[in-house]
Amino acid sequence: MAKKSGRGTLTAEKGELEIRVEINGRPRCLRVAPGEYLLDALRREGYKGVKKGCDNGDCGTCTVLLDGKPVLSCMMFAAQAHGRKVTTIEGLGTPSQPHPIQQAFVEAGAVQCGFCIPGMVLATKALLDENPDPDEAAVRRALDGNLCRCTGYVKQVEAALLAARKLQGGKQP
């Protein structure tokens, strides 16, 4: 059985759906259960940087970018990603060549236990893609949905502001 959508055909076989999605710049075809969450599908496919925290949309550790916008993957069905672009932390940089945002988080000392960091980095990326020169209040709003139990968020806010400067070529405040 096939269902037409504005993003292509979604097919169903043996109780599973076949979705086509771009993950970290690579086209993928995934088989998912109709009620499977994007978080679980991504983790099953090996994207372990997408963390499973509260499982009810309160902590932000499962944040991914969907067409460039932050979403909570624990609250979204995998089938809703059909025909769309998903970015996980694995798609941002590598340990040997980190993205400037990741580098800023390290330089600012914003990484402690690391559990919340993928979601915070992706939320920062979405913010800086939309607003390359945010003020502190904008950063705090962008990171608001990401809980951190280790810090008071000061270092993460500093990291986001540092990342903005790095991405603008080192502009000083």
How does pLDDT run across 120-152, given as a tens digit for each residue?
A: 999 999 999 999 999 999 999 999 999 998 888
Tokens in use for 105?
């988080």
pLDDT value of residue 7: 55
- 52 plus 19 within the same structural domain: yes
Mark whether 34 and 80 lie in a shared domain.
Answer: yes
- The residue-averaged pLDDT of 56-75 equals 96
Domain span including residue 115: 100-167
Residue 79, Cβ neighbours under 10 Å: how many?
Answer: 22
Confidence (pTM): 0.89
Same domain membership, residue 160 and residue 127: yes
Q: What is the pLDDT of residue 104?
A: 97
Same structural domain, 112 and 151? yes
Tokens in use for 22?
């771009």
Tell which of 88, 108, 141 closes a domain.
Answer: 88
User: Rounded mean pLDDT of the chain?
Assistant: 92
What is the predicted pLDDT for the residue at 91?
A: 97
Region of residue 30 (phi > 0: left; psi between -120 and 50: alpha; otherwise: beta): beta
Alpha helices of the chain — where are they, by DSSP H? 38-44, 100-107, 117-130, 136-143, 154-167
pLDDT level of residue 87 (50, 70, 90 thresholds): very high
The reply to whether 83 and 6 lie within a common domain is yes
Vertex 7 angle, CA 56 and 27, to 5°: 80
Whether the per-residue pLDDT at 173 is higher than 70: the answer is no
User: In the 8-state DSSP scheme, what is residue 85?
Assistant: E
How far is Cα 5 from Cα 93, in angstroms, rounded to an integer?
32
Q: What is the mean pLDDT of residues 14-18?
A: 86
